[in-house]
């Protein structure tokens, strides 16, 4: 019981380290689909990492925007950005599924044609 508990905690910490390591690349929009999915999923349930990205976001974007005389709502901006990421993940996933379905259908039709041609 004790062992599994501490193992779980260690995994969570590793997760956080991994996720926080992705933050700079996330802010530059450089994450892969897989990474972005892990990233947004983790941030939804981890306050530590949210705090971490809020700080990074503030340093990365906030200062520039304040210098430009823009007002920023850090929390809302970050929420927007994460929502946009989730939207594009959904779109990309749907697109990939569609491509996959079209490809499988094409292969199926091809096999059917070959079978029909060889059988008749």
- The distance of closest approach from Cβ of residue 7 to Zn ion in the complex, given in angstroms and rounded to an integer, is 17
Residue 58: count other Cβ atoms within 10 Å of its Cβ. Answer: 16
Choice from 23, 49, 53, 78 touching Zn ion (CB under 5 A): 49
Q: Could you say which of 27, 46, 58, 81 contacts Zn ion (CB under 5 A)? A: 46
State in angstroms the smallest separation of the CB of 27 from Zn ion. 16
72 near Zn ion, rule: CB under 5 A: no
Nearest to 21 by CA among 4, 38, 45, 3: 38
List of residues 6+ apart from 56 with CB closer than 8 A: 23, 24, 27
Residue 63 DSSP class: H
Smallest distance from Zn ion to CB 47, Å? 8
């Amino acid at each position: 019981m004790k062992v599994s508990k501490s193992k779980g905690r260690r995994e969570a910490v590793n997760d956080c380290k991994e996720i926080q390591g992705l933050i700079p690349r996330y802010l530059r929009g450089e994450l892969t689909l897989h990474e972005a999915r892990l990233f947004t999923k983790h941030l939804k349930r981890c306050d530590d990492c949210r705090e971490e990205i809020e700080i990074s976001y503030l340093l990365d974007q906030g200062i520039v925007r304040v210098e430009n005389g823009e007002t920023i709502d850090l929390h809302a901006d970050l929420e927007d950005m994460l929502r946009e990421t989730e939207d594009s993940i959904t779109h990309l996933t749907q697109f990939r599924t569609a491509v996959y379905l079209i490809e499988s259908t094409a292969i199926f039709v091809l096999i059917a044609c070959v079978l029909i041609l060889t059988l008749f």
